[in-house]
Amino acid sequence: MTLLEAKGLTKTFGALTAVNNVDLTVEKGVIHSIIGPNGAGKTTLFNLLSGVYQPTSGTIKFQGRDITSSKLYERSRIGLGRSFQITSIFPELTVRENVRLSVQSRGKKNFSMLRKATEMKDVEEKTSVVLEEMELREFKDKRAGTIPYGSQRSVDMAIALATEPILLLLDEPTSGMTPEDTYKMIVLIKRISERYTIILIEHHMNVVMSISDEITVLHLGKIIAKGSPEFVKESEEVKRAYLGGLKT
């Protein structure tokens, strides 16, 4: 089943074409990675898919619905969740409060001025489930800005999961992590992929090759290869784009 489909997607900034006539199909239940050298257009493509940018031309469909003109919050409402390359947490709030705010965003009555957040049993239960899923229970009452960086990345992902996404966009989830934290994140992504379809931007090729079902390779805003990890790894055009080949 096709979950997301982009056709002829293009984004220009003045004379610069950051994304150039990209066709992308993401099937339900897969981890689909977007890779490419620096400046390839990966984050711009993510910004188009999530609604941060409007395309110069082209269309985007999600579950068969045209969302090309939909705003970021509208896409979030229908099931597109996203984490960012730079953490978007509230550092002065506790980990639980960060996740709870995201859970609350999904209920019409969850921001009543006359109701304590702790009295919202359904919100509290959902928050606890997400914290458990992201292995953040030990940090739940700590201020998010004080916990280890790898765990902050997990909080950022937990905020996205708390919006109950159908499709999860992860922008370099292992960026800046130690090898140990990177391994933990790989295991975590594999586990949550059993419940969510994932589009992933990642620069660590060992991560990409170990968890991806499909890979799309961008170079200078265009797709130069797409297919299985094995196919992409052996592609001569991909090797040339990376100036020496993929290293795993």
Would you state the pLDDT for residue 50?
93
Q: Can you spell out the DSSP letters for 85-154? A: SS----TTSBHHHHHHHHHHTT-TTTT-TTS-GGG-HHHHHHHHHHHHHTT-GGGTTSBGGGS-HHHHHH
Q: Which residue has the higher pLDDT, 115 or 5?
A: 5
- At 116, the pLDDT band (50, 70, 90 cuts) reads low
pLDDT of residue 119: 65
Using the predicted structure, report yes or no on whether residue 112 has a pLDDT greater than 70.
no
The residues that bridge with 7 in the sheet, in sequence order, are 59
Query: Does residue 247 surpass a pLDDT of 90?
Result: no
Domain 1-79+165-248, CATH: 3.40.50.300
pTM, entire model: 0.86
Confidence of residue 248 (pLDDT cuts 50, 70, 90): very low
**pLDDT at residue number 33:** 96
Specify which of 56-60, 145-149, 194-198 reaches the highest per-range mean pLDDT.
56-60
- The single-letter DSSP state of residue 162 is T
Instruction: Say whether 2 sits in a helix, a strand or coil.
Output: strand
Q: Which of 107, 208, 198, 211 is nearest to 157 (CA)?
A: 198
pLDDT attached to residue 120: 74
Domain boundaries for CATH 3.40.50.300 within the chain: 1-79+165-248
Instruction: Residue 49: name the closest of 23, 85, 13, 14 by CA.
Output: 23
- What is the pLDDT at residue 207? 87
Q: What is the signed CA dihedral for 134, 136, 137, 140, rounded to 10 degrees? A: -130
171 in Cβ contact with 82 (< 8 Å): yes
Provide mean pLDDT across the span 127-135: 93
